[in-house]
Amino acid sequence: MSQRTATIYWTGFSVILALLIVAPLVLPEFWQRFVTEILIWGLLAMSSDILIGYTGMVSFGHSAFFGLGMYGAAAALLSVRPPNLWLAILYGLVGSAGVALFVAYFSTRLRDIYFAITTLIFSQIFYVIIFTWTDLTGGENGLTFRRPELAIPGLFSVPFTSDTLHWFVLAMVTASYLILRRITQSPFGMVLQSIRENEARTRAIGYAVERYKMVSVMLSGLFAGLAGVLYAIQNRFAAPDFVYFLVSGETVIYNVMGGIGTLVGPIAGAAFFLLLRELFSRFFTEFYLIPVGIIFIAMIIFMPQGLLGFMRRWLNQ
């Protein structure tokens, strides 16, 4: 990246980060929670971008990763007293990693539409299991639990306020973004993109495409799981609805609306969608999906590169 581009980029990054840090201090409570939620869904969408935008694998399985992250955290928060933040994160990541392993295996054997449909079915399998295994998962009603304290073992332990929770989420999401950015710009990331461009050629050059795909799925699954954990902590409940394939569908919508292959695009896409939803809910109550859906379809036809797609090359330098 040239010096000038780097300066512009990091300046922009800092500005946005600063705005997000200040947000809870100036916004009313409702909007503050809203911004926190955008960050969480943005993280989910960003994780999905690794698969869709960088490796070229369309997946409808993110609700499984997200859901298992959520339930994993729930398991930790319900089984260990006092509820431990880091344990929740650990359990959540382990849970989503488990699913990711499963999906990763199939990712190497199936292509394109078959892979997409299979990931969708996976979400549904987990949905059915969670929905019907009432003893373990609370079935239809889900699980509720207390929010853990923000704790650094040995140093301090304070309950979260909505401000500190927001900053914690922001820290997690920012760290995730930076890590993912580093990865996508590394040689590994380049190979992923090469797979997206032309898988056969990449294989012919000598890369073990299968391994790269599996790692890509694991990465994607882990960060999606993290989003699930954060959601569980913020909302203090876990429900099967989040494992239903519609969540995967919405995630892909955020990706496409925001611009795939940009990492930040999906976050913008999530923000855009959620804002539209808020806006239209005022007028159309719960039928906001009708106008939002139409906007989505129109965007696919007329603006396929998404909101930030035009910045894709620039962002990936």
Partner 1 sequence: MEQISAFLQAIPYDQIVIQTLNGIVTGMILALVASGLTLIFGIMDVVNFAHGELFMLGAYIGVVVLATSGSFWLALVIATLVVALIGAALQITTLRPLLGRDPLTTILATFGISLVLQNYALWQFGPVARKIQEPFTGRFSLFYLEYPWYRILIAALSAAIIGGFWLFLKYGTYGIWIRATTQDRVMAQAMGIPVPWVHTAAFAIGSGMAAASGVLFGPLVGVTHAMGLDWVLKAFIVVVVGGMGNLGGSIAASIFISLLEAYAAIWVDPAQAVIVSFVVLILTLLFRPTGLFVPTPK
Q: Which is nearer to partner 1, 100 or 222 (CB)?
A: 100
Residue 98 engages partner 1 in binding (rule: CB under 8 A): no
Task: Say whether residue 50 binds partner 1 (CB under 8 A).
Answer: no
Residue from 32, 84, 124, 316 touching partner 1 (CB under 8 A): that is 124
The string of DSSP codes covering 236-293 is: SEE-GGGGSHHHHHHHHHHHHHH-TTSSHHHHHHHHHHHHHHHHHHHHHGGGTHHHHH
> Which CB atom, from 6 or from 117, has the smaller least distance to partner 1?
117
Helix (H, G, I), strand (E, B) or coil at 197: helix
Q: Least separation, in Å, of the C-beta of 191 and partner 1?
A: 21
Binding letters toward partner 1, positions 260-299, x by CB under 8 A: --------------------------xx-xx--xx-xx--
Near partner 1 by CB under 8 A: residue from 108, 118, 193, 235: 118
Rg for the chain, CA atoms, rounded = 19
Q: How far is the CB of 118 from partner 1 (least distance, A)?
A: 6
User: How far apart are the two ends of the chain, measured CA to CA in Å?
Assistant: 6
Q: Which lies closer to partner 1 via its Cβ, residue 158 or residue 300?
A: 300
Nearest distance from C-beta of residue 182 to partner 1, angstroms: 27
Using the rule CB under 8 A, is 252 a contact of partner 1?
yes
| Residue placing its CB nearer to partner 1 in the complex, 132 or 161 | 132
* In the complex, minimum distance from the CB of residue 124 to partner 1, in angstroms, rounded to a whole number: 6
Q: Give the other-Cβ count within 10 Å of 216's Cβ.
A: 26
Residue 116 engages partner 1 in binding (rule: CB under 8 A): yes
Question: Is residue 86 at the binding interface for partner 1, with CB under 8 A as the rule?
Answer: no
Q: Which of 31, 86, 114, 314 binds partner 1 (CB under 8 A)?
A: 114
Q: How many residues bind partner 1 (CB under 8 A)?
A: 35
Q: Considering only CA atoms, which of 105, 74, 73, 61 is closest in space to residue 221?
A: 61
Closest by CA position to 249, among listed 301, 289, 308, 189: 289
Q: What is the DSSP string of 12-68?
A: HHHHHHHHHHHHHHHS-HHHHHHHHHHHHHHHHHHHHHIIIIII------HHHHHHH
| x/- track of binding to partner 1 for residues 216-235 (CB under 8 A) | --------------------
Crossing angle, helix 112-132 and helix 62-79, to 10 degrees? 30
φ, ψ (nearest 5 deg) of residue 156: -155, 170
H or E stretch covering 150? strand 150-152
Between 188 and 296, name the residue whose CB sits nearer to partner 1.
296
The residue (of 12 and 293) whose beta carbon lies closer to partner 1 is 293
Q: CA 73, CA 106: separation in Å to the nearest integer?
A: 26
Query: Between 107 and 194, whose beta carbon lies closer to partner 1?
Result: 107
Contact footprint for partner 1 (CB under 8 A): 52, 58, 106, 109-110, 112-114, 116-118, 120-121, 124-125, 128-129, 131-132, 245, 249, 252-253, 256, 286-287, 289-290, 293-294, 296-297, 300-301, 304
